[in-house]
Amino acid sequence: MKAQGFEKGIRGAVNGLQLDVNNMMADIVGPDYGITMEMIKAVGTRISLAHRKIEEMRKSGGLCFTDLPYQEKGLDDIINTAARISDEYENFVLLGIGGSALGPIAIHSALQPDYYNMLPAERRGNRPKFFFLDNIDPARTGMLLELLDDNLKGTFFNVVTKSGGTAETLANFLIFRDKLRQRLGTGKLSDHFIVTTDPESGTLREIALEENYPILPIPKGVGGRFSVFTPVGLFPSAVTGIDIHSLLAGARHMDELCRIDDIWENPAYLKGVLDYIAHVSMGKTIQVMMPYSHRLRDLADWYRQLWAESLGKRYNLEGEEVWAGTTPVSAIGATDQHSQLQLYLEGPNDKVITFIAVKQYPELIKIPEDFHEKKGISYLGGHTLNELFDAERMATQFALMKAGRMTSTITLNEISSYTLGGLLYFFEMETAFAGFLYGINPFDQPGVEEGKRATYDMMGRPGFEGKKDEVKRMIECGKPQYIINALTMRS
């Protein structure tokens, strides 16, 4: 399949998204710091095998996230249900954690205005205020309880867990369900909940059937961190009026590009290959995602889970111990120029930094021309914040390049539902492809299960006995001399 508009070469642009990897290449950043064409050729067999694996899984139905951009069934139900809830309720609350929350949070912050909940209703398109509860910090849950207390009748909850048994999500669900039951009565609960979960099994699904809550199914074979194009991400987005058809259209176009086996025409493959080589051949163990857009700050957090949980694996597909993966770090320009950049420039040369730039912003903010006699500020007058933002990004790229630090840049023409859909899918495919380059399974997460089992036993869940004693022994074997008590409260 031939892509239209993606130039063959290191720089390429297609319908609003451009990938520039110049500053990862040896002929740009220097032979001691960049990747050579010979290094790329040396992993040619791995590239071919990874592409073949992806195509085989597509054909067998084992790569379910690649089907999502083409979905039609259920979209009208999502949009119609979202419209009804938007018309009837003043507050919408998403209860979820990890992949059940990070995707919809990233979409919301990218496509809705900052301070969305503070805007007058007409500025929100008369859509409900939007709250995310993606943790179990008692202070945060308590504050949301207090905030919603006077208007529980006008509040709707979307409870999201793929397995239907996520302890954190179910705990918050029980708390808000109890508050609603006390205030409105058991018979009204079904008016205030919809669950997004497994289509066939799980505790949450059982409860939903018993209490007559609507159910939005998460397709089989789609893990939480790859679920942004399922009802997990689509339904909350539709509630606030985001064009989910356009979101999926962007993902579809990116998928067409991602079917090409030539890495110089496939942006996700190209970035996956270079990030892989940077790690295994050049010791770059840290991946920094640094958007120069405040609206994409939560996308960096979404990417962090996608990359870490997919690629951080102890064993490869042959069962050999490999300890694969690099550590993702989120940053935000220009803020983190003043917090992290010193380390990136003069600390260990163990990072690959991915910038995300935006060409067109919804606002053009002029800087007033004042204090003409003061050279330390007058130079800003007559410019715009837009110019300053771009200048800071380019200057940061320049400084890193001079220091021999590897960077790549993804540029969006604008932040829209279409370009965001393409960008999200780009990172999903890069991650999957990188997983097969490493020779690991990018779709499981065996490492987190041990902590889950220990939590279940400590909280008394049947069938998980034994872990509580191990945790107790760990605590008891600690030595007092390694514990310092400070800030002792005075009576």
Q: Is 338 known to be catalytic?
A: yes
Strands (E), 204-350: 215-217, 286-291, 327-330
The shares of helix, strand and coil residues in the chain, as percent rounded to the nearest 5, are: 55, 15, 35
SS3 labels along 347-399: CCCCEEEEEEEEEECCCCCECCCCCCCCHHHHCCCCCEHHHHHHHHHHHHHHH
Count Cβ atoms below 10 Å from residue 126 Cβ, excluding itself.
12
Question: Which of 10, 12, 34, 29 lies closest to 277, judged by CA?
Answer: 34
Q: In angstroms, how far is CA 78 from the centroid of its own chain?
A: 22
Distances (CA, A) of 338 to 206, 341, 357, 406, 407: 50, 7, 18, 19, 18
User: Mapping DSSP to helix (H, G, I), strand (E, B) and coil, where does residue 131 land?
Assistant: strand
Q: Is 414 known to be catalytic?
A: no
CA angle 149, 151, 156 (to 5 degrees): 100
Q: Where are the alpha helices (DSSP H) in 149-202?
A: 167-184
Catalytic residue among 338, 372, 374, 375: 338
Q: Is 309 known to be catalytic?
A: yes
Catalytic residue among 309, 351, 428, 430: 309
Contact 368, 381 (CB under 8 A): yes
Contact 64, 222 (CB under 8 A): yes
Catalytic residue among 179, 245, 452, 467: 452
Question: Which residues are designated catalytic?
Answer: 309, 338, 452
